[in-house]
Structure 1
């Protein structure tokens, strides 16, 4: 049994061409949101089972690549065309050569994958629901059903989704929702990316069924809302090599803390540090756990008041150390009564 189960319906085979001296250097890896989350979780000492569909020749290769990294695979094998891409990065920027999202899951394969995910997620007690490679891979309502059934069985559910999949998962009920400000604005959940609009969107998502909501804001501090109120979380500012995968590393850091028994309010510190380190690297979902632990000390946390008309008020507390977060999460005497 693994510490965490990740629902990754369609992992992607990635082929990247880079330059090594005067010769092309070709790298083949497993990729996709769930894979990047799993990779960072492993770096943080958390064991992972990935529940996924393994399609055709690409799927057989993905199984070997995932298992070679130390990820346990609970896969549904099926014929057909899987998700894959070939990128050329020899010029410094990613240039797509060929990309395919693969084939959507059929009803029988989806039923089998659903059952596998429930089995593994309930055994772990902590499940991450990640997105598929393509919009048509599976019905969005799958996320509502999975979130509801996993929580009914006693598991905690973390989702890092957008659009219809986000709304479906929240309708089922989730312990933690992570989303970016851009996704909130794009999907019409926030009027714009102003603090006031983001706070309003977070309150609404919390009301709909997300116990904790985390909003990433590119280079601006993260925002967190839970039953105790809002936090503003400032990651350390690092020199950027590649921003891709930073959000998935953030999610993985939060999940790693939860796997160790922390609340999302406490775990956000590790998440912020993991996301900050990931941007310094070209490898997505990678980083050294010792460095992440050091970067935790550079994360700033401020409790902010909730004013729906004025947006974010001035902080009511200053910097809070990671050890002080537990105190912020403690209910006051009035709450205990």
Structure 2
């Protein structure tokens, strides 16, 4: 079973503004809203890939109700705890002319320690050996910096495989729980290691250092250049696919979803490389944080190439 945890969810509002400019008047040409937050985005793609997941998180107010209703028709089970206040709304400004994406994110509602503990206790009651837990996204206001470390340790003690995708303190503390897999981008990996990583060789070396700490797999995203899959016995480079880009938000979440599904299904390394790369590429072809179609992902899988370094 795949579980996704979204402690700081959001309603993603994506607007298209051709030739977007600051300090001036802009005209919106299209608007769409999607239930969001990294864990929720992962579950949407898991559903698109034909698998099921259980979504755990915290929702509040009318915005939270909108997110809950939007997810109700998808192939997932939702366990959300209510909190006071409105779940945040994140604005994504996509400029189709300049091919840019600007994110303006609210901080989210504060969450008290008792609520976090209740949600963790609920998750631990559900977990079985070899279940997959995706801890993804930013931490809510007032959450301790070591939240993902505490959750990761607790899940690992139950025999679950933890996939961590966060940044800042969430990643720095979370890796101390020795997660099964992490997926930093190059900037996040540099921050995690406390030094500049300017080349593929430096990124690979840093990822190998993390393997020595107990992390089992490090997937480094390099944007349109591709991904590095740094594994105990080998390192594989997968070039990015050339596809028409509409919106890059959510691409990393699609990769995480594919990696989780691949692990759950016991796919081969080649199948995992193809599925995760295609899922990420298909995501950038979509507006907002909607999941790409399975048909699109399957078509892109045939184009994936890779080589061992």
SS of equivalent residue, structure 1 residue 84: strand
Q: Does structure 1 conserve the Cα–Cα contact (< 8 Å) formed by 2:4 and 2:53?
A: yes
Structure 2: runs of 5 or more not aligned: 18-26
Alpha-carbon distance, 1:202 to partner: 0.3
Q: Tell me which of 53, 68, 73 is aligned to 1:63.
A: 68
SS of corresponding position for 1:231:
strand
Residues 166/82 of structure 1: CA separation in 2 closer, same or farther (3 Å cut): same
1:251 corresponds to which residue? 256
Matched, 1:201 2:206: yes
Which residue of 129, 132, 135 corresponds with 2:135? 129
Equivalent residues of 2:33, 2:288 under 8 A apart = no
Select the structure of larger CA radius of gyration: 1
- The TM-score with structure 1 as length reference comes to 0.79
Would the alpha carbon gap of residues 58 and 264 (structure 1) be closer, same or farther in structure 2, given more than 3 Å must change? farther
Distance in 1 (CA, whole Å) between partners of 2:269 and 2:180 is 9
On the 8 A contact 1:238/1:276 being kept in 2, the answer is yes
In 1, Cα distance between equivalents of 2:251 and 2:110: 27
Q: What TM-score, normalized to structure 2?
A: 0.86
Higher relative contact order (CA 8 A, sep 6+): 2
Post-superposition offset of 1:73: 0.9
C-alpha separation between the residues in 2 aligned to 1:143 and 1:184?
Answer: 17
Residue 51 of structure 1 contacts residue 74 of structure 1 at CA under 8 Å; is this kept in 2?
yes
**How much does 1:76 deviate?**
0.9
Cα pair distance change 1:95/1:248, threshold 3 Å: closer
- TM-fit CA distance, 1:151: 1.6
1:31 to 16, 19, 36: 36
Matched, 1:45 2:80: no
SS of 1:100's partner is: coil
**C-alpha distance in 2 between matches for 1:164 and 1:241:** 30
**Partner of 1:169: helix, strand, or coil?**
helix
Q: Is residue 129–residue 158 contact of structure 2 (8 Å, CA) maintained in 1?
A: no
Number of positions where the alignment pairs a residue of Structure 1 with one of Structure 2? 298
Listed as ranges, the gaps of 5+ residues in structure 1 are: 305-337
Greater shift in the superposed pair: 27-36 or 113-122: 113-122
CA distance in 1, matches of 2:156, 2:194: 24
Shift of 1:177: 0.8
- Counterpart CA distance in 2 for 1:182 and 1:239 is 24
- Partner residue of 1:156 out of 148, 161, 171: 161
Cα offset, 1:90, TM superposition: 8.7
Partner of 1:168: 173
Query: How many angstroms apart in 2 are the aligned matches of 1:23 and 1:217?
Result: 30
Cα distance in 1 between the residues matched to 2:306 and 2:290: 23
Give the direction of change, closer, same or farther, for the CA distance of 1:209–1:167 in structure 2 (3 Å limit): farther
**Does residue 232 of structure 1 match 2:237?**
yes
Match in the other structure for 1:11: 9
Aligned counterpart, 1:116:
122
Q: CA contact under 8 A between 1:190 and 1:198: conserved in structure 2? A: no
Residues 1-21 of structure 1: per-residue CA shift (max 9 Å, x gap): xx31101112102334569xx
SS in structure 2 at match of 1:72: strand
2:82 to 73, 77, 88: 77
Partner residue, 2:107: 101
- Residue 212 of structure 1 contacts residue 264 of structure 1 at CA under 8 Å; is this kept in 2? no
Query: CA 1:173–1:51 in 2, change beyond 3 Å: closer, same or farther?
Result: same
